[in-house]
Structure 1
Amino acid sequence: MKVYTVGGAVRDGLLGLEVKDRDHVVVGATPAQMLALGFAPVGKDFPVFLHPETHEEYALARTERKTAPGYKGFVFHTDPSVTLEEDLVRRDLTINAMALDENGSLIDPYGGQRDIAARVLRHVSNAFAEDPVRILRLARFAARFEGFSVAPETMALMSSMVDAGEVDALVAERVWQELAKGLMERRPSRMLRILAHCGALARLLPGLPVEGPTLERLDAAASVDKPLTVRWAILVGGAGMLEDKARALSERVKAPGDCRDLAILLARERSALSSAASAGAAAVLALLERCDALRRPGRFAELLEAAGMMGDVGDVPVARLQAALEAVRAVDAGAVARATGDRGQIPARVQAARVAALADSGALD
């Protein structure tokens, strides 16, 4: 039995980056042997075990056989006779298909170290074409490693996969998982441009513009560590996107509710937020209420963050709207209600109190 460190840990070590997670491949072992050594099984599709002390993952060396379209159509085979090279050849990129033995010596049968030096993302073998998730993975690696280019033959292979309909077989949840990771990288625009170049973006997010300032704004949001909600809103709720389109794109990839709702709000209220620079108390209050800002001030703050980065309809008066929200939230609606004899008049009285508070607070001066 031989144990090797594989994948991202080897890649990041060669790049001089912090190694956060270590994965291992075990060659020449059976599940029974792993259990006898105290490893805990966790794999469903193929045998993966957790180390009894470090809890790092140890997978038995395996081969794969494509049986159906999409990323689930595989049969896995593990056996003590499967070699390390056979395991590595089915990995996605050469930079992820290297290993370190127990003495720290590098095993690099497919040129990963060469491609790290050349800053190239290149597929290991034609097995890449059997899993459409790898298109998304490569694109998000490009967003993380901004100095890396995509090998021409790899781009051509991804385009042929799109033409063959492989991307159409992806389930929404897996698409979102990869998109969300890529959006949180240093240069998310690179992920989207690569997906557009190979044709995958038009299949996954049809109608999403990749020209104009949207992607630059997305990178700007990444540069100041904006949360995923804000980045998604900028992508699908900005640059002239309509509310229905922001909703449709969010639902297409089953984006979480907080991401979907912020994108819809930005698409719907982008112009109104900019116009608030000169709006009166009643109009500002109406905007706050449409955005449910009184009940959800945190989401409204994220809306202002996203809108403040757009710039396509004018500057958003962030400080003015924040001060206005504070003034409105200071109104004791319960006290107003208790002081109103006619219960039917309560909503109007509360509304009037909030408008008066806005006007008197100086927030709109």
Structure 2
Amino acid sequence: MASLFEPLSLGAVRTENRVLMAPLTRMRATVPGDVPNDLMREYYVQRASAGLLISEGTQVSPEGKGYMDTPGIHSDEQVAGWRRVTDAVHEAGGLIAAQLWHVGRVSHESFHDGALPVSASAGPYRNRTTVRGEDGRPTRVACPVPRPLDLDEIPRVVEDYRRATLNAREAGFDLVEIHGAHGYLLHQFLAADSNLRVDAYGGPLENRARLMLEVTDAVVDAWSADRVAVRISPIGSFNGTEDPEGAEAGLYVARELGRRGLAFLHLSEPDWAGGPELDDDYRRALREAHPGPIVGAGNYDLAKAQRLLDAGLVDAAAFGRSFIANPDLPRRLAEGLPLNPPRPESFYGGDAEGYTDYPEHGAA
């Protein structure tokens, strides 16, 4: 049986352990420009003992932005900022993947000079996003009804992902992960409740999955399959998306992605967001559908991660909130050391407080 603390091959890279850091929105990029900065560099370097760091969601275009102070990877300044981060992570002995992100309708017109966010279809839905309030602090506001992407706009979106992948290579990342989960743009196209289109990207599951697969193929073409991963969240309610056909859609996408020989499939489970715990029957079905490595993420602790690893249902586990509070998480888990509690009030926005001030074990 594999241990959580053994190396693992994920496509073109080999990790030192199977304790990965999940992508975590923290909203600390420099504005204007949404540029990665020295504070972000310190944050990632502190956590470089992870088998693989997966960056926070990084918008592939200005249109893809949906939250204040989140970084992009579509401008020269952003690429240069990320290069300083990746160089420092590599110097510390770590590996880092860029998560490519287009939020779609989970956005606000204030980010787009008054224009509406885009999605698979138009229609009201219940969700909020985070903008800067009059006091400069994060403020939650309702998302507007989006406009549907025109058919002739879709190639542009695919090209945005391809270009972002080239930028990620230039910025020194080791891999890219396509964010196809949590009710963001690719998930909005995949989900039956948010995609009401009647063209080649709507209707049957094969059509609804088309954009995710076209994006994957474009990203693979811009780099190589063994440098690409995809994150999905087939079951659960995320950002106003509750796909009644989510379980079937997840297995379909897993099979299609498995044929492409990607570095890994990243499964985001619903219990981290207050949903039910995923059952092992679905995990087994996903394992049968996808022959490559599977990374599980959700409400994981050491016992859950090792159980699923022992059962052969995941190959690695990605930890989120526990990595926020414990920059040396792999060591703490391996040695049975106590964990720092996270401070949710400082998860989003701000400065070093609640970001880079969590101590390693034994530090003053």
TM-score range, shorter chain: 0.3 to 0.5
Q: Which has the higher helix share?
A: 1
Normalization by structure 1: what TM-score?
0.32
Q: Give the number of the structure whose alpha-carbon radius of gyration is greater.
A: 1
Q: TM-score, normalised by structure 2?
A: 0.32
